[in-house]
Amino acid sequence: MTETTTPPTGFAVPGRIAVDAQTAAAWQTATLTEIRRETPRAATFRLAVPRWAGHLPGQHLMLRLTAPDGYVAQRHYSIASAPDDSGHIELTLDRVPDGEVSGWFHAVARPGDTIEVRGPLSGFFAWPGDRPALLLGAGSGVVPLMSMIRHHRARGLTVPLRMLVSARSPEELIYAAELGAETTPVFTRSAPLGVPVGRMTAAHVAPLLAEQPAHGWEAYVCGTNAFAEHASRLLVAAGQPPERIRIERFG
Ligand SMILES: Cc1cc2nc3c(=O)[nH]c(=O)nc-3n(C[C@H](O)[C@H](O)[C@H](O)COP(=O)(O)OP(=O)(O)OC[C@H]3O[C@@H](n4cnc5c(N)ncnc54)[C@H](O)[C@@H]3O)c2cc1C
């Protein structure tokens, strides 16, 4: 997929949101204030970041852990919370087996601990809330998409927003209690009685594309490389212009 998106004629939305380079480069201290379990494998970590410059839904940050012996680990994490002026942001981390950083957060981190962050980063995957958005996520790929949904609700936006989210089972669906009529979950391993089990297919995507809001959809796809490939193929096959598919890969 292309890295830039040209807005449709007559629709004044920039394709790429400018990210202030100085803000993006400056490390700042964040204090962990709360840990909330989301699923058996995922938890949300609320951080107080007093000098946070603000973000747009969809953006991520760089996080740095430094061990007492000076060893440093850095990873990217999407911002789960909607932009607000609380001086806090939230991240949701999947626990990766033997994962250095996610393992520390899940097994060691406690409220009061400090870490470092810099950001927000990436103007490309940002959604300012001004264009119809079709969101496709899998696993923790739902995290930046949830920031978009929370923003849509918090601001009372009326621009169309739909989400297809894939999870292994209802127990592993992150933010399950918060998802509403905008979301269709797809379960790949086990599902409630009467709900089919399987991958996301054309049958999930086609009805959403058929809705075609004015100016069409901007699609945001987030998940593993394999999911990103699969979901973007489904979108293109259903008629979504490739240049209007934005992809964030978690690797
Ligand atoms: C832009 C961006 C945003 C991201 N946002 C999020 C987010 O919101 N939430 C989130 O949980 N993660 C997110 N990630 C992934 C995150 O950056 C880390 O890669 C992840 O937390 C693993 O780091 P770790 O230090 O725990 O594991 P590592 O110590 O780096 O890896 C340990 C082992 O696990 C394997 N591994 C690494 N990552 C994964 C994975 N995702 N699934 C399965 N195996 C893996 C490695 O190959 C290695 O064998 C994001 C990545 C990017 C690039």
Q: Is the CB–ligand 1 distance for residue 140 below 6 Å?
A: yes
The span from the CA of 100 to the CA of 89, in Å, is 22
* 80 torsion bin: left (phi>0), alpha (psi -120 to 50), beta (else): alpha
Q: Is the CB–ligand 1 distance for residue 101 below 6 Å?
A: yes
Tell me the per-residue pLDDT of 96-154, one tens digit each, with 9 for 90 and over: 999 999 999 999 999 999 999 999 998 899 999 999 999 999 999 999 999 999 999 99
More confident residue, 6 or 47: 47
Tell me the per-residue pLDDT of 162-209, one tens digit each, with 9 for 90 and over: 999 999 999 999 999 999 999 999 999 999 999 999 999 999 999 999
Task: For ligand 1, atom 7, name the residue with the nearest CA.
Answer: 77
Distance 67 CA to ligand 1 centre (A): 19
Q: Counting atoms of ligand 1 from 1, which one is nearest the CA of 91?
A: 8
Q: Is the CB–ligand 1 distance for residue 85 below 6 Å?
A: no
Q: Counting atoms of ligand 1 from 1, which one is nearest the CA of 122?
A: 1
Domain boundaries, the chain: 21-121, 133-250
Q: Which of 220, 205, 75, 86 is nearest to 143 (CA)?
A: 220
H and E: helices and strands count for the chain: 5, 11
Widest distance between CA atoms in the chain: 56
CATH architecture of 21-121: Beta Barrel (2.40)
Tell me the per-residue pLDDT of 39-66, one tens digit each, with 9 for 90 and over: 999 999 999 999 999 999 999 999 999 9
Q: Give yes or no for residue 233 having a pLDDT over 90.
A: yes
Domains 21-121 and 133-250 equal at CATH topology level? no
What is each CA distance from 67 to 35, 73, 121, in whole angstroms? Answer: 21, 9, 24
Domain 133-250 sits in CATH at 3.40.50.80
Q: Counting atoms of ligand 1 from 1, which one is nearest the CA of 75?
A: 17
Which range among 5-9, 68-72, 117-121 shows the weakest confidence by mean pLDDT?
A: 5-9
Distance 250 CA to ligand 1 centre (A): 7
Q: Is the CB–ligand 1 distance for residue 102 below 6 Å?
A: yes
Q: Is the CB–ligand 1 distance for residue 95 below 6 Å?
A: no
Q: Is the CB–ligand 1 distance for residue 147 below 6 Å?
A: no
Q: Is the CB–ligand 1 distance for residue 127 below 6 Å?
A: no
Distance 96 CA to ligand 1 centre (A): 7
Task: Tell me if 248 sits within 8 A of 231, measured CB to CB.
Answer: no
Q: Which of 61, 75, 115, 247 to mutate to test the pocket of ligand 1 (most atoms within 8 A of CB)?
A: 75
